[in-house]
Amino acid sequence: MSDELTSPLKAAELRDLCRQNGLSVSGKKSVLIGRLLEANVDPEDLGIIFEEARESENEILDDDEAFYLNSDDEEAITSISQTSIIEAEIIDAEVVDAEVINAEVIDEEIAKTMKHKPIASIDQTSIVEAEMIDTEVVEDNPEESAKMSKIFQDDLSSSASSLSEEDQSALPPIPGSKRKVISRNGTKPKTALVLALIILVGGVGYWYFTGSIDPFTPDTIRYGDDMRYSISDGIVSAEGEFIDAIVEKMDTDDDICKIIIEYGGLGNVGVTKGGSSELFDQSSNYLSGAIRQSGSYGFEWLTVEKQHEYTFEDVTITRHLKSVIDQSKCSDIGASSFGNSLDVGSTTWTEIRDQDVLRSQVDYSLTHESGAIEGTATSFGVSGIFSSVEDIQSAIGMAVSPVELKELIGDQLIQESSTGNRMGWSWSVLGTEEVLGELTWRILMVNEDVKSLCLGHAYINIWVNADSPWAIYQEVDIRLSGDSQERNDCSSTSQLINNLVVPEGSFEMRMSMSKKELQRGESPVVFGRDYDNRVRSSQVKPLDSELTDWQDGEQHIADNSTSRTHPLEDAVACIPYLDGASGAKAAMSDDGYVWRAIDNRTNSQQTTWNLSWVDTGDTSGWVEMTVSGSPSSENCSFLNSGVIEDGPNHDRSSLPQTLSLSAMENRLLDSNRYSELSTGDSYLGTSSGLHSEVMYRHLVASTSTGLDGISDWLNLEDGASAATVDLSRSWDEGQWSNNFNLAADLSDGRVVGWSLVKSV
């Protein structure tokens, strides 16, 4: 029947209805319609159109000796075996035994289910005894539906013989038709359909009493756990500013405004089992399996390593250009490229005692028609000014691999109507369902950070059981949007945060994941235990003597570099010599200070500096200059200047103590802390200094911005500030163009993360 159903609703509208009814949102439009109908959604709500052509196929013949079943339906009754005898007495739905199924009502829901469930055969020894049947769902006349019909009263052996002789000869198809005929002596056509329904009821009853699933608490992951899974119906759609970075790496002159990526493939999730060498400084081996890894301060900790691998073959990338008629809109028709491939590996390290994510790394490789892109991104567990960005990233991070149940639910019992909130996700148990041949609990997850900050939506449906530490089936539906027209119902604070965090445009991701193979390890992972030589916070944070206080009259964060020819001190000292920088001159001469600075040292003879300043009247601006020697009118050259409309307020009392720029630089280039940055690939430089093409920037962010709600979002206490430093480097090596970026916190000396992108 579903083949002939149509609906004027769009696929997106049907998915919304599926969500409202707690249903899966994957699949084509026809699949969504069928799923909603099976959930008893009123066809009128779907705008269903029943086509006339279907009437002839659904026609029930008169009360002669035959009735027809369409063999094109999803399910058909293909045979009734010789000794199958069906006798039922429907009296009370509470009694089910080996021979008697008592049911008071066969309702419309069972009738609908019958149209979609196969009855390939009825086993010869199957006997269901019944005497009276309420035929409400199959009688055309409502009055007749209240009557009880006598089906069989003969003994079992004679009935079996009758079925064998009469029914087996009644199955040849009608010429010119795909239907099959089943005839009975003394049995009406509608009675045969009732018999099939009774069989279905019997099966459901048996399954209910023998196949129920018990509540459970998630099992702890084990060292050596491994699960392979398939990925299907994957689609990522990005438009607006979300695709700027992608387009930049594609090296194209096309005015691309939207990209759609369709994919499927295989995935793997596992827990690494570390060797004994990882515990060389431990007095016992009770943490056997743990892995050593360095954190944001560059010191090593004992961690649990979790690995995720993805292989996507035959990836389809569709690019949409701006409309020729209206440049503000994207064309509906895109150009697709096929046969692209993508490999992604993701690794996280969780510290044993505190159970915090110490570090995570993503490695990827994309081959497309125009070339290739490779990259790696490393991030460290952070808080404060970066925490909300990290929370939003977790919405995507948790969605792209099977959810770890213990991580999401903890020790709560998974049972009917259980709810909880953890790691920014709220979850609720919707009930039990059978998937992949296993009985499971279905859980709906909603990301509360994305919801509360008015950034869009992030939903994950997972199906779980006690045998697996991960979801065995998972459906993902995420949409992030920076379009102001989609945020009319948001609070002013939420809209402001949205503007700061989310690019203009939209990002969507949907996919399904299904377990293929699960192997359990042996030793359970035990968190919360201390261990020998564990790093203490007092060992990693800067000493008070290393921090500089610039609240009282200082004009900028200290630089003090001896490796860079023209440090920040020289740039600020050049301001009085700059013609055309009247605003900066006035600010610096009257207790103003620099809150943002960027250098460019690609020219070995001079350094270009861009300084952002604020004065005591809360006016903010910027000035750009070159510095070629000691500050003087000859060595300081004005380039440009301007006003910053949304700059910070002047607030010296909240300026944080910080490391000097040179002290932070020395930390980053210490090979004992961050070997990747100064040895091997030496992304930033060597022990003697930064590469000349590295651009140095710093930023001071204060809660005194005059923007309501921002201090809460940044997780900064009243009157607090934070100072950050970010470095970038671009260079060519062989056929590859490379771009490296790093961010760190000047307030306490820790690295937030870094990324490397290579393209050809």
Contacts of 603 (CB under 8 A, 6+ apart): none
Same domain, 472 and 358: yes
Q: Which residue has the tokens 């997972």?
A: 462
Q: Where are the alpha helices (DSSP H) in 559-610?
A: 568-574, 582-588
Q: Which of 210, 235, 258 is the last residue of a domain?
A: 210
- Whether the pLDDT of residue 165 is over 50: the answer is no
Same domain, 553 and 460: no
Greater model confidence, 364 or 329: 364
Residue 311 — very low, low, confident or very high, per pLDDT cuts 50/70/90? very high
CA distance 27 to 35: 10
- Whether the pLDDT of residue 227 is over 60: the answer is yes
- Whether the pLDDT of residue 34 is over 90: the answer is no
> What DSSP string describes 192-243?
HHHHHHHHHHHHHHHHHHHS----BPPPPPBTT-EEEEEEEEEEEEEEEGGG
Average pLDDT over residues 698-715: 53
pLDDT score recorded for residue 691:
92
Which amino acid appears at position 392 of this protein?
I
Same domain, 19 and 81: no
Give yes or no for a contact between 729 and 684, defined as CB atoms under 8 angstroms apart. Answer: yes
CA distance 117 to 44: 24
pLDDT score recorded for residue 499:
52
pLDDT score recorded for residue 298:
93
Same domain, 336 and 449: yes
Same domain, 245 and 287: yes
**Is residue 541 included in any domain, yes or no?**
no
- Whether the pLDDT of residue 676 is over 70: the answer is yes
Same domain, 402 and 312: yes
**Is residue 497 included in any domain, yes or no?**
yes
**Is residue 524 included in any domain, yes or no?**
no
**Is residue 532 included in any domain, yes or no?**
no
Average pLDDT over residues 658-664: 94
Give yes or no for a contact between 307 and 346, defined as CB atoms under 8 angstroms apart. Answer: yes
Residue 148 — very low, low, confident or very high, per pLDDT cuts 50/70/90? very low
Q: At what angle do helices 387-399 and 492-501 cross, to 10 degrees?
A: 70
pLDDT score recorded for residue 140:
43
pLDDT score recorded for residue 113:
41
Average pLDDT over residues 510-526: 96
Average pLDDT over residues 568-582: 96
Average pLDDT over residues 379-389: 56
CA distance 227 to 519: 6
Average pLDDT over residues 100-106: 38
- Whether the pLDDT of residue 253 is over 80: the answer is no
Greater model confidence, 302 or 366: 302
Nearest to 222 by CA among 655, 618, 612, 526: 526
Greater model confidence, 587 or 192: 587
Same domain, 49 and 65: no
**Is residue 757 included in any domain, yes or no?**
no
pLDDT score recorded for residue 225:
98
Average pLDDT over residues 408-433: 94
- Whether the pLDDT of residue 497 is over 60: the answer is no
pLDDT score recorded for residue 492:
53
Same domain, 655 and 690: yes
- Whether the pLDDT of residue 591 is over 90: the answer is yes
Greater model confidence, 562 or 96: 562
Q: Which of 34, 53, 72 is the last residue of a domain?
A: 53
Residue 211 — very low, low, confident or very high, per pLDDT cuts 50/70/90? low
**Is residue 536 included in any domain, yes or no?**
no
Q: Return the top range by mean pLDDT from 191-205, 233-247, 378-392, 740-754.
A: 740-754
Same domain, 64 and 49: no
Greater model confidence, 221 or 98: 221
Question: Percent of the chain at pLDDT above 90?
Answer: 44
- Whether the pLDDT of residue 115 is over 50: the answer is no
- Whether the pLDDT of residue 391 is over 70: the answer is no
CA distance 123 to 79: 10
Same domain, 154 and 270: no
Same domain, 413 and 481: yes
> What DSSP string describes 659-674?
E-HHHHHHHHT-TTT-
Same domain, 18 and 121: no
pLDDT per residue as tens digits for the range 446-492: 998 888 777 889 999 999 999 999 999 999 999 988 655 545 556 55
Q: Which residue has the tokens 């004009």?
A: 555
- Whether the pLDDT of residue 719 is over 80: the answer is no
**Is residue 698 included in any domain, yes or no?**
yes
Q: Return the top range by mean pLDDT from 198-202, 511-515, 723-727.
A: 511-515
Number of domains in the chain: 4
Question: Percent of the chain at pLDDT above 70?
Answer: 69
Reading phi first (left if > 0) and then psi (alpha if -120 to 50, else beta), residue 229 is in beta
pLDDT per residue as tens digits for the range 61-72: 444 433 333 333
Q: How buried is residue 640: exposed, middle or buried, by Cβ count under 10 Å (0-12/13-18/19+)?
A: exposed
Residue 574 — very low, low, confident or very high, per pLDDT cuts 50/70/90? very high
Question: For residue 263, how many other CB atoms are within 10 A of its CB?
Answer: 21
Read off the tokens for 423. 């790691």
- Whether the pLDDT of residue 704 is over 90: the answer is no
- Whether the pLDDT of residue 85 is over 80: the answer is no
Q: Which of 519, 535, 560 is the last residue of a domain?
A: 519
**Is residue 759 included in any domain, yes or no?**
no
- Whether the pLDDT of residue 137 is over 60: the answer is no
> What DSSP string describes 441-471?
EEEEEEEHHHHHTTSEEEEEEEEE-TT-SB-
pLDDT per residue as tens digits for the range 638-656: 999 999 988 888 988 888 8
CA distance 394 to 390: 6
Give the sign of the dihedral formed by CA 59, CA 61, CA 67, CA 68: negative
What is the domain extent for residue 123?
60-210
Mean pLDDT score of the chain: 76
